[in-house]
Amino acid sequence: MATLGVVTATHRFDEERLADYLCAAGLREFAGGLTALQYQGGQSNPTYRLEAGGRYFVLRKKPPGDLLPSAHLVEREYRVMKALADTDVPVPEMIHLCEDPGVMGQAFFVMEHVEGRVPSAPGLPEVESAAERAAIYDAMNEALARLHAVDWVAVGLGDYGKPSHYVARQVSLWTRQYEAARTDPIPAMEALVEWLPAHVPDSDAAEGETTIAHGDYRLDNMILHPTEPRVLAIVDWELSTLGHPLADLAYNCMTYHLPEGPLWKGLGEIDCEALGIPSEEDYVAAYCRRTGRDGVPDWEFFMAFGLFRLASICQGVYARALQGNASSRNALEVGAKAPMLAEAGWSFARRA
């Protein structure tokens, strides 16, 4: 989630109808109607802040139009966050899920509005001290380790995914998603489509490596305490499933290999040490200490896979932008990043 603005024409809905529905569902705050603003910046499921009865709520829905297979599953977002409510993984409170497209045109859910800070960039320019930046990165690291320690069967997510061969299935899935959204040729993507299936690590077949995987774990998918370096909520669980923890960790570390800028949100040539941000090596070591790992084998593969998957996601954003149903105004610019991400992924593959 990012800045708030008026609801775009593409994502407008009948506010009176929604308020009546939510009131009938037991949310009495909506008896007097609602006011909606849209979060700008996200590229997937449209997200809104609703104000009703003197209280804020957050609503996430599927985007309009024809959607790629297995994409935008807000039902899964709702389910995983609800399952994590009684763990030490910070998530917002889930309030209501509606799978009836007759209300808003698509399935949606309503959750608690968590008041806090959403980091604008990995360099944390809004944070004043190096010590606080270091503490925020450590809190992000700790939250990821906590997530990967959750007993996914005990919290009711035993059927949330398959307990092995996550990476192999994901390579197949994102290859299909990329091909469904393909526009101009991207040679590096074509190379990765061939290379990745042939180099999946042996650990991908081991059920003991299975955890709940967030799938899009990064700073700007977190809400921090307003004044303290603490994670109050992890959001945007659309890509979550049962998966390989090192895929989550590598995705979290991709920011070290992306350029700095308003669209890239990478660390680029930033002097991390001067800002208090840990090096990638130190960040990975901290995760290993917390999870009892001796190291991270096949790191180049997991980085190549993560960049390939993000490139496929960006290509999907680009395709939706061309169709006119993307979730944010800068979708064309974001979607155009796919070739660079693919090149970065292919560079890791060549080093593996």
For the segment 178-237, what is each residue's pLDDT rounded down to a tens digit?
A: 998 888 889 999 999 999 999 999 999 988 899 999 999 999 999 999 999 999 999 999
pLDDT number for residue 329: 57
> What was the pLDDT predicted at 184?
84
What pLDDT is attached to residue 193?
97
Length of the chain: 352
Question: Is residue 88 in some structural domain?
Answer: yes
57 and 138 share a domain?
A: no
In a domain, 17, yes or no: yes
Give the span between the Cα atoms of 45 and 68, in whole angstroms. 13
Domain identity same for 95 and 221: no
153 and 288 share a domain?
Answer: yes
Q: Establish if 279 belongs to a structural domain.
A: yes
Q: Final residue of a domain: which of 79, 112, 145? A: 112
Q: What is the pLDDT of residue 2?
A: 61
CATH of the domain at 187: 3.90.1200.10
- In sequence order, what E strands does 150-291 have? 211-213, 222-224, 231-234, 241-243
Are 96 and 161 in a shared domain? no
Q: Cα separation of 83 and 147, whole Å?
A: 12
Q: According to the model, what pLDDT value does residue 1 have? A: 43
Give the residue from 67, 85, 112 where a domain finishes. Answer: 112
User: 80, 112, 144 — which closes off a domain?
Assistant: 112
- Let me know whether 68 and 162 are in one domain: no
CA pair distance 257, 251, nearest whole angstrom: 11
pTM over 0.85: yes
96 and 136 part of one domain: no
Q: Is residue 134 part of a domain?
A: yes
Collect all residues with Cβ–Cβ distance below 8 Å to 273 and sequence separation of at least 6: 279
d(CA 69, CA 337): 22
Residue 49 is classified by DSSP as E
Q: Distance (Å, rounded) from C-alpha 51 to C-alpha 187? A: 47
- CA distances from residue 64 to 11, 60, 192, 321 in whole angstroms, order as listed: 7, 12, 30, 12
Query: Does residue 252 belong to any structural domain of this protein?
Result: yes
Q: Which residues of the chain have pLDDT under 50?
A: 1
Task: Check whether residue 141 and residue 256 sit in a common domain.
Answer: yes
Whether 158 is in a domain gets the answer yes
Q: Are 140 and 91 part of one and the same domain? A: no
In this predicted model, what pLDDT tens digit does every residue of 67-79 receive, in sequence order? 555 556 899 999 9
- pLDDT (0 to 100) of residue 67: 52
Check which CATH number belongs to the domain holding 89 and give it: 3.30.200.20
- Examine residue 117 and state whether it is found in any structural domain, yes or no: no
Looking at the fold, whether 136 and 108 belong to one and the same domain comes out as no
Do 222 and 144 lie in one domain? The reply is yes
Q: 200 with 74, same domain? A: no
Split into its structural domains, the chain has a count of 2
Query: Six-digit token pair at 96?
Result: 């209501």
State the pLDDT at residue 195: 98
Residue 147 and residue 108 share a domain: no
The parent domain of residue 216 ranges over 130-351
Residue 124 lies in a domain: no
